[in-house]
Amino acid sequence: MYRSLDPEKIIGTIEQLSSRIDARFPDSGLGRVCKELLTIALESQERSAWIAKPQKSLRVMVGVLIALMVAVLVLVLANSTLPANRFDFVVLLQASEAGINVFIVLGAAILFLVTSEVRIKRSRALKAIHELRALAHVVDMHQLTKDPERFVTRQSATTPSPARQLTPNQIAKYLDYCSEMLSLIGKLAALYVQKFDDPVALAAVNEVEDLTTGLSRKIWQKIMVFNSDPEFRSGHRRLVP
């Protein structure tokens, strides 16, 4: 029960997170990003299920093509005739070389057809994982200007500085939501290799997980700055649980 990821549970968690963001930050950019994450999660459920399922129609087509290729080769060999004259070593070498080339080409074609299912699944998985990687960077862009140093150190804002529309308490919660979204992005990426044992796709998922973990670590460093502020510790600017 707890040895695999449940797409339904992940989708439910994202829906709950989206509601929490809308309740605290109505009509915010982060809320729209979370709704996009929910859309991608629904697509990921369908895509990962398709990737995990054996594609029987494709396998039948590949089997038919391989059978036709082998049948044509057998037909050619059956209709070929040996030279009636005496044994010619040069002709034998030429025929052997041609036969070896035919078998190499045939083997390469069969290998290409046999691995076509894996390559198609890998292409779809990598495309979906790339979308999740891009979304992780979008989340990082939303938290980029939420710098607690401006509140903790009381820095004065310059003209190009972003407007302070959130309180320190709201920014801390905003950062927490960003961290949760990054974690969920990593879980969605893991769905694609849960039942698809492909080293290329697995490497791409590991890259996304490393990315989201690194970005989340950076966010929590900001949250720790809030926690180190004496006014937070004394309760005057307490973080919302």
Report the range of poorest mean pLDDT among 71-80, 88-97, 105-114: 88-97
Residue 178 shares a structural domain with residue 130: yes
Angle between helices 7-24 and 29-52 (to 10 degrees): 170
> pLDDT tens for residues 16-30?
999 999 999 998 899
Of the candidates 108, 116, 105, the one whose C-alpha atom is nearest the C-alpha of residue 62 is: 116
Query: Is residue 241 domain-resident?
Result: no
Query: Is residue 223 domain-resident?
Result: yes
Residue 43 shares a structural domain with residue 145: yes
Residue 195 shares a structural domain with residue 212: yes
The predicted model scores a pTM of: 0.79
Residue 61 shares a structural domain with residue 107: yes
Query: Is residue 143 domain-resident?
Result: yes
For the beta carbon of residue 154, count every other beta carbon within 10 angstroms: 7
Residue 60 shares a structural domain with residue 147: no
> pLDDT tens for residues 140-177?
998 888 876 666 555 555 555 555 567 777 888 899 99
Is the CB of residue 169 less than 8 Å from the CB of residue 237? yes
* Containing structural domain, residue 108: 56-78+90-116
Query: Is residue 85 domain-resident?
Result: no
Amino acid at 240: V
Residue 17 shares a structural domain with residue 135: yes
* Token representation of residue 94: 């030429």
Residue 122 shares a structural domain with residue 174: yes
**Residue 129 pLDDT greater than 90, yes or no:** yes
Q: Tokens 């080409």, residue?
A: 105
Mean pLDDT of 104-121: 87
Q: Which helix (H) or strand (E) holds 108?
A: helix 89-114
> pLDDT tens for residues 57-88?
888 888 888 888 888 777 876 776 655 555 55
Query: Is residue 240 domain-resident?
Result: no
Residue 150 shares a structural domain with residue 35: yes
Residue 109 shares a structural domain with residue 151: no
Domain count, the chain: 2
